[in-house]
Structure 1
Amino acid sequence: MFSLQQKTAIVTGGGSGIGRAISTLFARQGATVHILERNAEAAQEVIDQLADEGITAHSHACDVSDQQAVLQTFDAIGPFQILVNNAGIAHVGRLDQTTEDDFDRILRVNVKGVYNCLYAGVPVLQAQGGGVVLNMSSIAAMVGIPDRFAYTASKGAVQAMTLSVARDYLAQNIRCNCISPARVHTPFVDGFIAKNYPGQEDAIFEKLSKSQPIGRMGKPDEIAALALYLCSDEAGFITGCDYPIDGGFVRLNN
């Protein structure tokens, strides 16, 4: 089950965190993986890790907010069956702490970046009779998360785009879903804590972990496992859905 043999997958932001876990798992399950990543060194680390396992994957230096760069990269990759729009950035701040530059930066990557990859990728899927799109949203799109104004707006847009693509291309056999994680332990979390709470790292890590009812943060590999299912043939009856993977945060945090 959940084999991706003879499938080609594009994973944006596939060099670190959740994207790295998805890229690695998909490659191990047989997919030919193409990582789109601004950080070429991070992408190369994934390529080298897989090469040590005898698995070939590919990386492409690409800024997803640049439409021409995205179009050229997709053209170079050629036909594919799976697109994972994972690339994204964060911003901490309320509305009154979010400058125009902050807001534009978040939307340029988290919203326009997804649009650019959909714009480049969906016609390829149409031409070959179908495929799968998986977008990375967040529980921030469903509940009020403090100090996440711009990030919340961007992830709400991702959920809306997911529904739109799922509806518009249903007849072309293109499935489109999204995943909404709660807090996941990635290098970003460690960096955020170190920057904002020097000397309190352990205490803040524990506090953030316990904000999920299950008592811990998620693991990138757990998000990747859900992504694998949704992009596999076994999920062929699923489209237009959002999947919270949140340790009970949305339904049990009361």
Structure 2
Amino acid sequence: MGVNSAIYPSLKGKRVVVTGGGSGIGAGLVEAFVRQGAEVHFLDILDSESEKLAETLGDEHTHPVFHHCDLKDAAAIAATFEKIGPVHVLVNNAGNDDRHTLEQVTPEYFEDRMSVNLRHMIFCTKAVVPAMKAAGGGAIINFGSISWHLGLPDLVLYETAKAGIEGMTRALARELGPDGIRVTCVTPGNVKTPRQMKWYTPEGEQEIVDAQCLKGRIEPADVASLVLFLASDDARFCTGHEYWIDAGWR
């Protein structure tokens, strides 16, 4: 994130939780919120990457806190959020885009993919809502995906879950709006992370850039800039919608 990037005074000191914060986009989110002076907690199962991130970010005043949490386990989610305490901003970022075909889908794999990509968002939200209501508001930011809008191949369960996240966002925004809780969805295009790079050859990566209106690669810091705005008081009337950052990929 550049030295001229925005600082939001309303985020300073806020307790922020980022799921899947140990790597990729999630790590960029953790870094960005730390830079805002927020009290950052992040959940992941990647212990070594997460511990290294927590050690390298922050200063003597602000350090992100890593919590090992398997988001497929609803009881573990509840216990982790109880330990963290009241949350001002929840970023439901965690997900997994493993490739698969319809022929490979079993009932067990279906349940596993829904747990990884959709179900935990409901239970993380459920965990933070009571304190947000008591505080008079809060921000919940869910991560969707451009994949189902484009109908990308070999992602039928991932795309099913991501489409559901947009519907969930609108439903929760309506239900929680009277309590001052904003619920939005960020829809990234192809973001340059180590995980994404393993799926594409240089030629495949160039095809994506060629299909974008803006001819560059989206970085985690670019996504974080949008999330920071949606989490801040500057976005106080933003809720119930998707916000795209895809460089115009069509």
2:238 is aligned to 238
Aligned to 2:227: 227
Please say if residues 141 and 186 of structure 2, whose CA atoms lie closer than 8 Å, have aligned partners that are also in contact: yes
Q: Where do residues 1-254 of structure 1 align in structure 2 (5 Å cutoff)? A: 1-3=7-9, 4-51=11-58, 55-193=62-200, 201-249=201-249, 253=250
Output the TM-score relative to the length of structure 1. 0.89
Letter aligned with residue 118 of structure 1: T
Tell me which stretches of 4 or more aligned residues in structure 1 moved more than 6 Å.
none
Paired with 1:146 and 1:214, the residues of 2 have a C-alpha distance of: 23
| Contact map agreement 2:34 2:58 (CA 8 A) in 1 | no
CA deviation after TM superposition for structure 1 residue 93, in Å: 3.2
Give distance in 1, aligned partners of 2:75 and 2:86: 18
Cα distance in 2 between the residues matched to 1:51 and 1:246: 29
Tell me the CA shift for residue 139 of structure 1.
Answer: 1.4
Amino acid at match of 1:116: F
Bigger Cα displacement from structure 2, 201-210 vs 222-231:
201-210
Shift of 1:120: 1.1
**Deviation per residue, 1:61-113 (Å, 9 max, x gap):** 00112111010000000012000000101132343343434322210111111
| DSSP 3-state at the match of 2:212 | coil
Task: Name the CA distance, whole Å, in 2 between partners of 1:152 and 1:65.
Answer: 18
Q: Assess, with a 3 A threshold, how the Cα gap between structure 1 residues 104 and 216 changes in structure 2: closer, same or farther.
A: farther
Unaligned runs of 5+ in 2: 1-6
- % identical aligned pairs: 36
Cα distance in 1, alignment partners of residues 114 and 242 from structure 2: 20
RMSD after superposition: 1.7
Instruction: Note closer, same or farther for the CA distance 1:121–1:54 as it changes in structure 2 (3 Å cut).
Output: closer
CA distance in 2 between counterparts of 1:67 and 1:104 reads 14
Q: Which runs of 5+ in 1 are unaligned?
A: 194-200
Report the TM-score, using the length of structure 2 for normalisation: 0.91
Which amino acid is 2:186 matched to?
Answer: I
The 3 A distance-change label for structure 1 pair 188 and 205 is same
> Match of 2:129, as an amino acid?
V
Q: How many residues were matched structurally?
A: 243
Partner Cα separation in structure 1 for residue 181 and residue 44 of structure 2: 24
Counterpart CA distance in 1 for 2:130 and 2:150 is: 33
